[in-house]
Amino acid sequence: MKCTIIISVYKDVDSLELILESLSNQTFLPNEVLISEDGNSEEMLTYIQEAKKKFKIFEITHSFQEDIGWRKNIALNKAIMSSKYEYLIFIDGDCVPFDDFVENHIKQASKKIVLAGKRVELGEKVTKSIKERKLSVSKLTNKYWFYLPKLIKDKTRHLEDIFHISYNSSLSFFIDKKVNYIIGCNWSCFKEDILTINGFDETYTLPSVGEDVDLGWRFRGLGIELKSCRFNANLVHLYHKKRFDSSQGIINNAILKKNFDANKFFCDNGIIKRGIYNND
């Protein structure tokens, strides 16, 4: 089975470099790395041109659009349609995978199943050390027991999700596979399954809910179950200041409730446009 890993980015080339370094050293290499840019930054374009020369171990493709505000869902739908392979893994451009991240997604993949993982949210000081190349993500995640005091002192959030148990470990049997919702920075599915729900709902024009929580109940409504890949398909979230507030969540939750009450699992404003969203 071949896979495309889709990375949602916005201008942050330093973090993208760390992600591509991690992906180039995976135990199971992705076939395609698709950089889904919600914008059209010259710096990003220049960087990707250089990255294609540096990381020849996999194919790098770039999808972009006009930078006129938060339109992540539109960018992701474009990425889905331009992706070349049957299995899709979604991460954000501020999240760096563990060394066996791709393997743990691929080896647990199944049709009509969405794999949903978590993330460790690093603090400011540890993130700075990583970006200044004083500490590698690989070293941190492979020897996390050694770094626990430093991570605790740096106020790491969701620290429990740095613990790692491979999918093929006998201990993985004891991990709870139930999951309530998708976190948009770490999940995967077959391309045909996300097409079943018509992709991301482009009605959401603010971050916080529309690119992840919305997906989970729509998948389930059409018979596609969520399964946890927590503690095996791990990644770390690099620190940055919060980019959205609670008011945006209120707006998005109103959209979510309206669609939920109407049992609208196949969204009207997704990859296919229906009703008022169809310009034909």
What pLDDT score does 245 carry? 64
What pLDDT score does 211 carry? 75
In the numeric block, which tokens belong to residue 238? 């690099």
CB 271 within 8 A of CB 203: no
- CA-CA distance, 71 to 65, in Å (whole number)? 9
What pLDDT score does 255 carry? 85
Domain ranges of the chain: 3-277
Domain range 3-277, its CATH number among 3.90.550.10, 3.90.420.10, 3.30.70.100, 1.10.30.50? 3.90.550.10
pTM of the shown model: 0.95
What pLDDT score does 242 carry? 73
Exposure of 58 by Cβ count < 10 A (0-12 exposed, 13-18 middle, 19+ buried)?
middle
Please give the chain's pLDDT, 280 residues, in tens.
899 999 999 999 999 999 999 999 999 999 999 999 999 999 999 999 999 999 999 999 999 999 998 899 999 999 999 999 999 999 999 999 999 999 999 999 999 999 999 999 999 999 999 999 999 999 999 999 999 999 999 999 999 999 999 888 888 777 777 788 899 999 999 999 999 999 999 998 877 776 788 999 999 999 999 999 999 999 999 998 876 666 667 888 888 888 888 889 999 999 999 988 887 6
From 199, 218, 223, select the one nearest 256 (Cα to Cα).
218
